[in-house]
Structure 1
Amino acid sequence: MLDIWPALPLFILDARYYPPTKGVDNTIAALKQRHRVCKIKFCASSSSDYENVWAAMQEPFPELADIMLMALEIDAGIPDSFLGGSAPGLRCLKLYGIPFPGLPKLLLSATHLVTLCLEGTSHSEYTSPDVMANCLSALTNLETLALEFEHLNPENRRPPPPTRSVLPALTNLEFTGDIEYWEDLVARVDAPRLFHLSITFLHHYQIAFDTPHHVQFISRTPRLEALEKARITFGDKTVRARLSSQTSGNGVLDVGIPCSTISTDEQFSCLAQICASSLPPLSAVENLSIIEDHYFEQYLQENIADRLWLELLRPFASVKNLYIHRESLPRIAPTLQKLVGDRTTEVLPILQNLFTGGSQPSRLVQEGIEQFAAARRLSGRPITVSPWDRASEQEGVTHPPRIVSIVRTH
């Protein structure tokens, strides 16, 4: 069929995983037209498929601008000779679970790259923070970066250099992996235009959340400072702290930890550490929302102790408006009820408004909230309790789409 078509640009979409077909003959035939190929999306479930495709991609593809490669539970690394080791016209590169030792060399040539996503990267595919920062320094047009490293980095950590690489165009950054790798990486880079930062720290149960380089990185990123809205979200897979702004001029900072394999006590402890040490100063945060998704209760392993709620709320000393989701209200109300006498302003000392979401709370929950409000009134710090109208909350900055997406077509 290639012989009867005009010499149009080619977009190679190999979707054999849905629905499955046999062989890669058509893909290889299209790859032979390397001067016409502008976009490639390829996924294979066998090493032989990848080896045949790599063999057809050893020379430069001068028109190639967009490439996505995915491995389905196979170990078929990309050879150093991939694309002839150079891709100056590449604008989007997404690799999922594919070893590529020659990636640093390719990135140094891909100076027009706008989007880079490296996910499912294991220990065997490890690229040190030094090398990664050096590669990123050449990508002056990079706007979106997603990195996922599934295993701990080696112990031979190096101190950061005296100067940092600048990513002048980067606006979206998503990182999933070891907290030590993240610390080493952000000690080596600046991203002055960064608007959206989403981090998921793995292996959190092994280390403390001591993140001085992360905090300094945030302080060098103007759009991530002085964010006024905070949201604590408890989900079935992660618990997250998210800061955003009432205005469109500032950005979104989202930090989370996986929670399906740890206890509720550990979840709260880790999240409290994040709020206290891994977020910007919370002095500008006046609005705090506490939300559960409907799957969280399935993973709730024990009752939530008062001390855990207090530890979590303590960093939010400037909050004036507290929004509590209907699922969270029965869990937090008993803790608020006990804040009487000298403990009345132990947390949330300048709170003015408490918004409760959902249907009419139970009698016990209602009594707990009323006692909390009465104690605040007696202390001279009265609060107003109102229903939480999500439509009128004025969310301000909405969460942008995930940086990485995979569209399956056939």
Structure 2
Amino acid sequence: MSIDMLPDDVLLEIFDFYVRIRAWRLLVHVCRRWRSIVFGSPRRLDLRLFCSNKTPARETLDVWPALPLSIKCDKRAERVDNIVAVLERSDRVCHINLGIKSSDLETISAAMQVQFPDLTHLVLWSHGETVSVIPDSFLGGSAQRLENLTLENIPFPGLPKLLLSATHLVTLQVVFIPHSGYFSPEEIATALSTLTRLESLWLLFESPQSCPDWARQHPPPSPRSVLPALIRFWFKGVTEYLEIVVARIDAPRLSKLDVTFFNAIVFDTPQFIQFIRRTSMLKPLQKARVTFEGDTATVKLSSQTSGYKAEELKVRIPCRELDWQVSSMVQVCTSCLPPLSTLEDVFIYEDPCWQTHWQDNIENVLWLELLHPFTSVKNLYISGYIAQGIVPALQELVGGRATEVLPTLQNIFLELQPSRPVQEGIQQVIAVRQAAGHPIAVSYRQILR
């Protein structure tokens, strides 16, 4: 049987598969019947016209039926005339992905002050430049069908107002937020309360200058708003901002939480701790990885499960001085996180590219304070450089202090070929633990970073 003899509904099934792997425009040029079938089912086949800054929109769009429009520019456009021409057909635009120069944002923004009723995906970004502020009237103040929104280095103080209408939103990424784009934690928390379908959330500020006014009172609301679908949350900013937000929301299904706090003297986050406790992620957490890099200290708590579905809680502190890094991790592990009673494995290591002779800069008591919260750990993995700091600290725990830290420790895994002083020191630690009735075994293996 010739393909031309197939019924229209069978051809449509074939076209549906074909369109997923090739451009639909090839089909409409075969014959009048195929053209009629394709254009007769634009939603079924998800037909769209793709436009860029090089598309002569005013001359070519009218050649085609009134299909949904998708605008994309991978690099910042040198000219935006064609993009504006597409945006003028706001009733048909469904996808927008634009890199914008500072000088062009005002032009693009002006073309987007009306409603885009079919818009489902919006990405706007600008790198390395200070751009003008987007006004509150952006998108006509409404985004009812929006499912994915990404703003990168785009100042939009009125974003929380727009989000009140974006009840279909699944992914919200607001990153590299300049201070000119600051919105208050109360505003964003109120906006989040309406986003019951939201699964992924990024709020990444560029500067600690974006800090709430503590002269005001910030009583937590009662009851809190529930985000039933939220499973991934990234935040970068000051602790005070996050404290206000998480005091106002619950995310019971949260499984990935990645937080970067700008360096501070004191980390006091009681609301953050309570927020974590109200999720379901604490119970599966069994591993801790503490990492010291050139400009960041990180603690990552994770489940034994590997891959995308693994539960994960990560807290980063940007700072360069090693003593500040260790001190920051001490505060994070003791003050920013709930009790780490489910952890059985702890890895402590440094960036292998880091050549600083940090072992001479850190007092033993600081290393012991870092280890103190891990009361249920059975296995301790430490890299070669880290061992030069931790082993001398453990040597101080003699007599009745033998199990003052890591009381349930059973195994220490040292990186291959530790220095002679480290080997001698660990033998002393083994002897002290043995005498106290808490023997430990020591193995040498490559640490998986």
Q: TM-score range by the shorter chain?
A: 0.7 to 0.9
Say whether the 8 Å CA contact 1:233–1:291 is kept in structure 2: yes
Asked if the contact 1:225–1:280 (Cα under 8 Å) also holds between the matched residues in 2, the reply is no
Determine whether 1:355 maps to 2:413: yes
Asked whether the 8 Å contact 1:230–1:241 carries over to 2, the reply is yes
Q: C-alpha separation between the residues in 2 aligned to 1:226 and 1:292? A: 26
**Residues 293 and 352 (structure 1), Cα distance of their counterparts in 2 relative to 1, 3 Å cut:** same
Residue in 1 that maps onto 2:126: 71
Which residue of structure 1 aligns with residue 257 of structure 2?
197
Cα distance in 2 between the residues matched to 1:74 and 1:250: 38
- Contact 2:292 2:351 (8 Å CA) reproduced: yes
Partner of 1:364: 421
Is residue 2:388 matched to residue 1:330?
yes
For 1:383 and 1:374, the matched residues in 2 are separated by: 9
Distance in 1, Cα, partners of 2:295 & 2:125: 23
Name the residue aligned to 1:128: 184
Deviation at 1:104, TM superposition (A): 2.0
**What amino acid maps onto 1:196 in structure 2?**
K
AA of the residue aligned to 2:74: A
Cα distance in 2 for partners of 1:5, 1:272 equals: 63
Report what 2:442 is aligned to. Answer: 385
Larger Rg: 2
CA distance in structure 1 between the partners assigned to 2:350 and 2:102 by the alignment: 40
What SS does the corresponding residue of 1:283 show, helix, strand or coil? Answer: coil
Note if 1:278 corresponds to 2:336. Answer: yes
Does the aligned pair in 2 maintain the 1:323–1:388 contact within 8 Å?
no
Check the 8 A contact 1:264/1:301 in 2, yes or no. Answer: no
**Alignment coverage as a number of residue pairs:** 383
Residue 325 of structure 2 corresponds to 267
Larger deviation, residues 242-251 vs 110-119:
242-251
Q: 1:233 to 1:137 in 2, by over 3 A?
A: same
Instruction: Provide the secondary structure at the position in 2 that maps to 1:39.
Output: strand
How much has 1:334 moved relative to structure 2?
2.2
Distance 1:30 1:328 in 2: 57
Residue pair 1:283, 1:318 contacting (<8 A) in 2 also: yes
* Secondary structure at 1:98 match in 2: coil
Asked if residue 257 in structure 1 is aligned to residue 314 in structure 2, the reply is no
Retained in 2: the 8 A contact 1:244–1:250?
A: yes
Residues 199 and 255 of structure 1 are in contact (CA less than 8 Å); yes or no, is this contact kept in structure 2? yes
- Output the CA distance in 1 between the equivalents of 2:232 and 2:145: 21
1:164 and 2:224 matched: yes
Once the two structures are TM-superposed, the CA of residue 5 in structure 1 deviates from its matched residue by 5.0
Q: Which moved more, 1:377-386 or 1:70-79?
A: 70-79
Question: What are the residue-to-residue correspondences of 1:171-190 with 2, within 5 Å?
Answer: 171-190=231-250
- String of CA shifts for 1:4-55, please: whole Å, max 9, x gaps: 55554433222334xxx622123222323323322222222323x1111112
Q: Which runs of 5+ in 2 are unaligned?
A: 1-55
Report deviation, 1:367. 1.4
Taking structure 1 as the reference length, what is the TM-score of the superposition? 0.87
Q: Deviations over 1:335-365 (max 9, x none)?
A: 22333333322211221011112x3122222
**What SS does the corresponding residue of 1:309 show, helix, strand or coil?**
helix
Provide the alpha-carbon RMSD of the alignment: 2.3
Is 2:289 aligned against 1:231? Answer: yes
Distance 2:289 2:117 in 1: 46
> Which residue, out of 14, 23, 27, partners 2:73?
14
What is the TM-score with the length of structure 2 in the denominator?
0.80
Task: Specify whether residues 161 and 10 from structure 1 end up closer, same or farther in structure 2 by C-alpha distance, changes over 3 A only.
Answer: same
Change (3 A) 1:256 1:117: same
SS at match of 1:161: coil
Compared with structure 1, are the counterparts of its residues 390 and 163 closer, same or farther at alpha carbon in structure 2 (3 Å cutoff)? Answer: same
Find the counterpart in structure 2 of residue 214 from structure 1.
272
Mapped contact 1:264–1:302 kept (Cα < 8 A): no
Deviation at 1:329, TM superposition (A): 2.2
What is residue 150 of structure 2 aligned with on the other side?
Answer: 94
| Residues 327 and 6 of structure 1: CA distance in aligned 2, closer, same or farther (over 3 Å) | farther
CA distance in 1, matches of 2:276, 2:310: 13
Q: Distance in 1 between matches of 2:172 and 2:430?
A: 50
Where 2:74 maps in the other structure, the secondary structure is coil
Unmatched 5+ residue regions in structure 1?
396-410
- Structure 2 residue 304 is the aligned partner of structure 1 residue 246: yes
Residue aligned with 2:384, SS: coil
CA distance in 2, matches of 1:371, 1:5: 81
Counting aligned pairs with the same residue, the percent is: 51
- The alignment status of 1:105 with 2:165, answered yes or no, reads no
Closer/same/farther in 2, CA of residues 11 and 301 from structure 1, 3 Å limit: farther
State the match for 1:59 in structure 2: 114
Provide Cα deviations, 1:208-231, integer angstroms capped at 9, x if missing partner: 222211111111112234522111
8 Å CA contact 1:226–1:281 kept in 2: the answer is no
Q: What is the identity, as a one-letter code, of the residue corresponding to 2:311? A: G
Q: Is the 8 A contact 1:171 1:195 kept in 2?
A: yes
Q: How many Å apart are 1:331 and its aligned residue? A: 2.8
Structure 2: distance between partners of 1:352 and 1:136: 45
Match of 1:117 in 2: 173
1:389 deviates by 5.3
CA distance in 2, matches of 1:256, 1:383: 31
Match of 1:372, SS state, is: helix
Contact 2:343 2:374 (C-alpha < 8 Å) held by counterparts: yes
| SS of aligned partner of 2:229 | coil
- Alpha-carbon distance in structure 1 between the residues aligned to 2:89 and 2:352: 50
Corresponding residue for residue 399 of structure 1? none
Does 1:26 find its partner at 2:86? Answer: no
What whole-Å deviation, never above 9, does each CA across 1:219-264 have from its counterpart, x for those lacking one?
A: 111223452211111122311111111247872111121112xx32
Q: Does the CA-based 8 Å contact 1:100-1:125 persist in structure 2? A: yes
Distance 1:222 1:66 in 2: 30
Corresponding residue for residue 80 of structure 1: 136
8 Å contact 2:148–2:172 — kept in the other structure?
Answer: yes
Moved more, 60-69 or 36-45: 36-45
**How far apart are 1:378 and its partner, in Å?**
2.0
Contact 1:39–1:66, Cα closer than 8 Å, also in 2: yes
Q: Secondary structure at the match of 1:282?
A: coil
SS in 2 for 1:385: strand
Residues 3-12 or 22-31, more deviating: 3-12
Contact 1:226–1:280 (8 Å) recurs in 2: no
